[in-house]
Amino acid sequence: MLFAQLTDTSALLEIGKQVPSLVVLCVLTWLFLKQSAEARTEYLGSIKMVHDENVEARTISQAVIKDNTIATLAMTATFHQLIKTVEHLQPKKK
């Protein structure tokens, strides 16, 4: 019953007349919560943006590492082939 009375706007207006500081407190609380929600939304948006940039950078980094690994393996195979060729061309020691 008390809740039903509080949801009635005339009851709220009567409370506001009797306790004006309560109205001020409610308005200030509402403004603070609204500002806090906006700040939280901006903060979470910033965190998401940083996360997305980090994921993109990691993806690029992994692709570069993969390409470098393939190039290194090919270079190693070429060096081994070159060493074998040079060993065959050197005169044998007696």
Measure CA 56 to chain center: 11
Look up the pTM and report it: 0.53
* Enclosing H/E stretch for 37: helix 20-89
- pLDDT tens, residue by residue, 29-83: 989 999 999 999 999 999 999 999 999 999 999 999 999 999 999 999 999 999 9
64 or 7, which is more confident: 64
Q: 91 — phi, psi (to 5°)?
A: -70, 145
What was the pLDDT predicted at 21?
85
What was the pLDDT predicted at 1?
47
- Listed as own residue / partner, the contacts of 44-51 with beta carbons closer than 8 Å and 24 or more positions apart are none
8 or 81, which is more confident: 81
What was the pLDDT predicted at 6?
54
CB proximity list for 22: less than 8 A, separation 6 or greater: 15, 16
Rounded to whole angstroms, the Cα distance separating 78 from 59 reads 29
